[in-house]
Structure 1
């Protein structure tokens, strides 16, 4: 199933699938197959896969790759955003290690992650951690957002922005009125998402004392 721009839609719930085929020829073989798939999922089948028969190897790609080759219709959410657990640490290390080696992220060893795992939120896609981020509370009304990272295979999307929004919601729920970030690479992205550059002196004192002048990170903040 494709959208109005002809882009393949890889995952849909039954209602979204129905909306996307509403303007097409309802008597075509494809639409009949799509309607059958939608009805099956609405009837309790966990998932249905739609692939084009002319694509060589489509079935194997659909079954044995994460993104597949067609459209997956299922009632349950394909991706889940949740609190990280210690079981996620190996996957977190795999995702952040390359960026740590490049100097983009501050190094966090396994012991550090075990201490801080409760601050992390992850996006899980069929058992695979594809994105993560952390929210560290500071004083009574401030929190630091850090380590927003998406798996290299899943960077073309809105997972980073969605994670940022989730952390902001969690921060508000915890009574945090302002979040801040330190970044060497992505200041423009945070500015696009409502952050403004501030001075080091504007940070909580506990964070000021930890600032690494060699990294020359920009400091940005956002009121919630």
Structure 2
């Protein structure tokens, strides 16, 4: 029997990168996975790889209809609240449109999706909020991103305390830089690439599958007493 047999998982931002790897890992562990992204083609490809366990759902996590659909679910066991984004800029160059976009996507939508899931879940449910090592430290050109991920860490702690009496666990995952479609352009800058690798004591970066395996542990029975905490999958960056 697979660890997640009989469980239903919802993964946002599942079209590419960490979300895609997570959807596949959960499906391989036996879960029925509802994979959410805005691009249908990405979802169709993911579903083909999911061996019949992945249901594609093209939606924007900020849409009211999507939130209502979560609240109406009667069998939701796992939420991987993964959708988010970044626009790196020096603080003095951050315009209000960028500020509002990142707060809306990285904080407001994360909160609203988590709230909808909490309304739908019963005892045994698990919510994983996607954070970042930047939710624990600071870094140049990431004032807004760090602010939003620190907010995710605070939300995770408060949700964990509030939902514990209902038997729902809430955790966060805080990766270092992962080479994904969202970050690959950054690594074309030799200076930035050198800075990142110099900050990671392990001397390499994780693949999306490494983050997915960490999430798989957190939603598994083996983590039944882990709540309100952040798993830093950062190769030692924040240990410095």
Q: TM-score, normalised by structure 1?
A: 0.31
Give 1 or 2: higher helix fraction.
2
Q: Which one has the largest radius of gyration?
A: 1
Q: TM-score, normalised by structure 2?
A: 0.29
Give 1 or 2: higher strand fraction.
1
Q: Which has the higher contact order (CA 8 A, sep 6+)?
A: 2
